[in-house]
Amino acid sequence: MAAASPLRNLEDEVLCSICLDFLRDPVTIDCGHVFCYHCIIKVCESSRQPLNCSLCKAAFKKENMRHVWQMASLVENIWRMKVDEERQPREERPPEQKAAKLCGRHLEKLHYYCKDDQQILCVMCRESREHRHHAAVLLEKAAQPYRVRTPWDLSSVLVAKKVLNLQDKVQLLKPLFEGKILNHLKVLKGDRDRIQNFQSTGEDEIQALLTKFQNHKQDIASVFEQGHQFLREREQYLLEWLVGLEQELTEGRNSHVTKGSEEVVRLGALITDLEKKARQPALELLQDPSDILSRYPRKKFWIEKPISPAIKKRAEEFSDKLASLEKGLRGFHGKLMRDLEYKTMKIILNSQTANGYLSVSPNGKSMIFTGLWMNKYQHGQRFDPEPAVLGSNGFTWGKVYWEVKVNRIWWGAEEEEEAMRYRGGARGVFGSSYFSGFLGITDEYGSPGYRNENEELEEENGLWSKFCIVGVARESVVRRGFLNFTPEEGFWTLQLSSAGVCVCTGSDPFQILSYCPRMIGVALDYDGGKVTFTNARTQEFIYEFSSSFTGRIFPFLWLNCMRSRLTLRP
């Protein structure tokens, strides 16, 4: 008895109070109590915050759990001692082990099973504060369902393990656990194979994408090298042309200086001889007066233009080539920046927001001003009385681009090209130089339709009068009454008319172009707080707003002319 009592005491110390079995992978919590890792994890998963210890009810945090490796070694040694003791012949076992198993805490017989904590209890445990309000039944009643049901699930095995003696437990649980282990092993092997296949497939996909990236690097280097080579050749061609012009001009200057110097020397010699002749006495001077005219005749002196017409013509041709180069590079630069950094969006108009005088096409890509009220029902989203409409989709991040085609019936096919021909140029989409000089385009046509008296008076007096507006607007803009199309009111727009393009950033609009482009490009950089407008046909810069956007930003169109149509592209 003296030898058995210390072992029982050690067993009680290394039992988990949750599963009542030897500690497996023991961990300690904030209060210092030790539990099986899987048992305390199940408690954490099934309990709400805060977590409380099942023994002392002290609060603890899941992240503060620590493994107790020394306890794991101690449990293993005690388990081995118990196995060795169980292997002894039944006759040699101490009498205490032949008796009924007692409660490890109160040394009382075990009569009850707690369903809430799944623990076997003695009378004192049942009446304790921990289990007083729990559902407790007699051991025989708790074990009865598991004696007749087969196969047992894991919970029944745990109960049976606690109510049967050791020999019966071994005989009953061995086939069950062997089958469960084999099934679980099969499942684990299947999971392992699937994970290995997933890893292999994922590795192949990653490697294929890495290979594609390497090919892209080579393609980028090759494309840019070809572009660099092309530009270097064009640069060399223009430089050689310019060097040739400089050489011809230098040679012409040398010839001009040489001929001029020779003529000056000749005239200087004649002047000197005549001055000497004029100082002679009268007798000598009058001896042969005809000799003076014959020896010093007055002929047409030499004169020549400093720059030959041929060089002037070639210089003008070079200037035209340079202007064409600048225009082409501006267009290339703008298109490349737009294609690489901006996503081209397919914009659809939201007919629910369209003013009643506007007719939106069925596909939502274009609209016209009808001059007749088209909508019988007034929606809360609709603009009134402004002839405006929003796009269907708004943006809260990213860089997006779309185009608006402006059509008016009185426009000629070559009107914009003629205006561009007379202009000095324009600044590039994302920088470059700015050339001034615009050609004013006017028209006698006064568009009828949806206007108030003030606008008609302005047009009669030659002041600014818009016929359409293109740009973006905040979702929360006012939709009732007449609007001010300024950034403060939530509008970032261009105002177009037959006189050109105007921008309104304050109380009064100011004109930035004296012609009206046929295609307007709108580039929205939400994160960068920029709205950039370009001539979509030439990629030339028109105007850029800088702001800080909040909320959703929508495409915005406004039309006030019955002979006009606005079309979204692509």
* Nearest-angstrom CA–CA distance, 188 and 327: 68
DSSP state letter for 414 = T
- Domain final position from 72, 99, 126: 99
CA dihedral 55, 59, 63, 69 (to 10 degrees): -30
DSSP state letter for 48 = P
Q: Are the C-beta atoms of 306 and 256 separated by less than 8 Å?
A: yes
- Domain final position from 99, 128, 149: 99
**Tokens linked to 331:** 């267009």
- Domain final position from 50, 77, 99: 99
The burial of 351, by beta-carbon neighbours within 10 Å (0-12 exposed, 13-18 middle, 19 or more buried), is given as buried
In this predicted structure, the answer to whether residue 410 has a pLDDT above a threshold of 60 is: no
**Tokens linked to 280:** 């002679």
452 vs 180, more confident: 180
Q: What is the pLDDT of residue 471?
A: 96
In a domain, 161, yes or no: no
Per-residue pLDDT, averaged over 162-168, amounts to 48
Q: What is the pLDDT of residue 532?
A: 93
| pLDDT single digits (tens) 6-39 | 666 677 778 888 877 778 888 999 888 888 888 8
Long-range contacts of 12-19 (CB under 8 A, 24+ apart): 12/104, 12/105, 14/71, 14/74, 14/75, 14/78, 15/104, 17/54, 17/55, 17/119, 18/43, 18/54, 18/117, 18/118, 18/119, 19/118, 19/158
Mean pLDDT lowest among 56-70, 217-231, 296-310, 508-522? 296-310
Closest C-alpha to 562, from 359, 385, 388, 384: 359
User: What is the band of 425 on the pLDDT scale with cuts at 50, 70, 90?
Assistant: very low
Rounded to a whole number, what is the distance in angstroms from the first to the last CA of the chain? 94
Closest C-alpha to 20, from 139, 176, 158: 158
252 vs 478, more confident: 478
Indicate if 287 and 387 belong to the same structural domain.
no
Q: What is the pLDDT of residue 285?
A: 67
Indicate if 405 and 494 belong to the same structural domain.
yes
In a domain, 515, yes or no: yes
If phi > 0 it is left, if psi is from -120 to 50 it is alpha, else beta; for residue 509 that is beta
Q: What is the pLDDT of residue 372?
A: 84
Q: Are the C-beta atoms of 403 and 570 separated by less than 8 Å?
A: yes
The burial of 271, by beta-carbon neighbours within 10 Å (0-12 exposed, 13-18 middle, 19 or more buried), is given as exposed
In this predicted structure, the answer to whether residue 331 has a pLDDT above a threshold of 80 is: no
Give the pTM. Answer: 0.48
In a domain, 294, yes or no: yes
In a domain, 334, yes or no: no
SS3 366: strand
Beta-carbon neighbour count of residue 315 at 10 Å? 15
User: What is the band of 390 on the pLDDT scale with cuts at 50, 70, 90?
Assistant: very high
CATH code, domain with 550: 2.60.120.920
Looking from the CA of 559 toward its CB, the CA atoms found within 13 Å total: 28
Write the CB contacts of 197 (distance below 8 Å, at least 6 apart in sequence): none
In this predicted structure, the answer to whether residue 176 has a pLDDT above a threshold of 80 is: no
Q: What is the pLDDT of residue 255?
A: 78
Mean pLDDT lowest among 341-355, 408-422, 528-542? 408-422
CATH code, domain with 65: 3.30.40.10
Q: Are the C-beta atoms of 386 and 483 separated by less than 8 Å?
A: yes
In a domain, 176, yes or no: no
In a domain, 91, yes or no: yes
Q: What is the pLDDT of residue 98?
A: 47
* Nearest-angstrom CA–CA distance, 110 and 151: 26
Indicate if 264 and 369 belong to the same structural domain.
no
Indicate if 276 and 363 belong to the same structural domain.
no
Closest C-alpha to 557, from 462, 447, 468: 468
Indicate if 8 and 92 belong to the same structural domain.
yes
Residues of the chain with pLDDT > 90, as a percent, come to 20
Indicate if 422 and 530 belong to the same structural domain.
yes
Domain total of the chain: 3
Highest average pLDDT, of 229-243, 293-307, 460-474, comes from: 229-243
In a domain, 61, yes or no: yes
DSSP state letter for 515 = S
CA distances in angstroms from 39 to 23, 25, 66, 524, listed in the order given: 10, 10, 14, 57
User: What is the band of 501 on the pLDDT scale with cuts at 50, 70, 90?
Assistant: very high
Q: Are the C-beta atoms of 86 and 65 separated by less than 8 Å?
A: no
Q: What is the pLDDT of residue 95?
A: 52
Indicate if 403 and 264 belong to the same structural domain.
no
CA distances in angstroms from 33 to 18, 23, 67, listed in the order given: 12, 12, 12
Indicate if 299 and 429 belong to the same structural domain.
no
Per-residue pLDDT, averaged over 347-376, amounts to 89
Indicate if 452 and 538 belong to the same structural domain.
yes
Indicate if 373 and 429 belong to the same structural domain.
yes
Write out the residue range of the structural domain in which residue 23 sits: 1-99
DSSP state letter for 62 = G
Per-residue pLDDT, averaged over 424-453, amounts to 34
Highest average pLDDT, of 56-65, 454-463, 529-538, comes from: 529-538
Q: Are the C-beta atoms of 367 and 407 separated by less than 8 Å?
A: no
| pLDDT single digits (tens) 89-138 | 544 545 544 445 677 777 777 878 888 888 888 877 877 778 877 888 87
In a domain, 393, yes or no: yes
In this predicted structure, the answer to whether residue 529 has a pLDDT above a threshold of 90 is: yes
Q: Are the C-beta atoms of 65 and 100 separated by less than 8 Å?
A: no
Indicate if 359 and 291 belong to the same structural domain.
no
Indicate if 530 and 473 belong to the same structural domain.
yes
